[in-house]
Amino acid sequence: MRLTRRIVLAATAALGLTGATVSISMAEADPSDTMVITLKDGEVRVALRPDLAPKHVEQIKTLVRQGAYDNVAFHRVIDGFMAQTGDVQFGDMEDGFSLRRAGTGGSDLPDLPAEFSGEPFMRGVVGMARSQSPNSANSQFFIMFDEGRFLDGQYTVVGSVVSGMEYVDNITRGSQAQNGAVADPDRMIKVEMADQ
């Protein structure tokens, strides 16, 4: 199953399919490596890539199973670029002060060493957010709206959206003047692994 996924991903990258989401049938996706994000409009399924980033994927799966991502805001959303979420420290707060801090927190788990790969940042790719230090990714991640090859080799790729990208496209955008900060953000209502 994983070999098929790698072949499809490699073929997609080689063909330069920037406007398409990687096509992996749910029969091919391993349920223990499939993250299901419930958004306001529907379910988004993400095929996680332990073959590319085993430590990052394991940390995401741990946080998902703890329920840490439930109700966490998409605090930074830039049209034509990406939607960022996953701040489990501040991103699930409802008050404006806490939301202003969203994007500055992580989780109680340790930061991770970089697991950069040759996987390109295309539409639907999920990458780990980090600070200036390459070894600072923790819980925050982002979903690409479009190609962002300038991120290649600079950020850890942890997976790709395999269904529900149309719901990602509907996430409320942030202010361009505020570097994508969202005043009234959409949230990940519920996040589970497909095998839960």
Counting the structural domains of the chain, the total is 1
CATH of the domain at 122: 2.40.100.10
Kindly report, residue by residue over 77-94, the tens digit of the pLDDT. Answer: 999 999 999 999 988 776
Per-residue pLDDT band at 95 (split at 50, 70, 90): low
Query: Are 145 and 82 in contact, with CB atoms under 8 Å apart?
Result: yes
**Domain span including residue 185:** 2-193
Kindly report, residue by residue over 134-183, the tens digit of the pLDDT. Answer: 999 999 999 999 999 999 999 999 999 999 999 999 999 998 878 888 88
Give residue 3's pLDDT.
35
CA–CA dist 28, 20 (Å, integer): 18
Query: Are 149 and 169 in contact, with CB atoms under 8 Å apart?
Result: no
CA–CA dist 171, 169 (Å, integer): 6
Q: In the predicted model, is pLDDT for residue 53 greater than 80?
A: yes
Give residue 37's pLDDT.
98
What residues contact residue 4 under an 8 Å CB cut-off, 6+ apart?
A: 24, 28
CA–CA dist 102, 98 (Å, integer): 6
* Spatial CA neighbour of 159 closest among 66, 63, 50: 50
Handedness of CA 38, 42, 44, 45 (dihedral sign): positive
Region 52-75: mean pLDDT is: 97
Q: What is the mean pLDDT of the chain?
A: 86
| SS3 at position 30 | coil
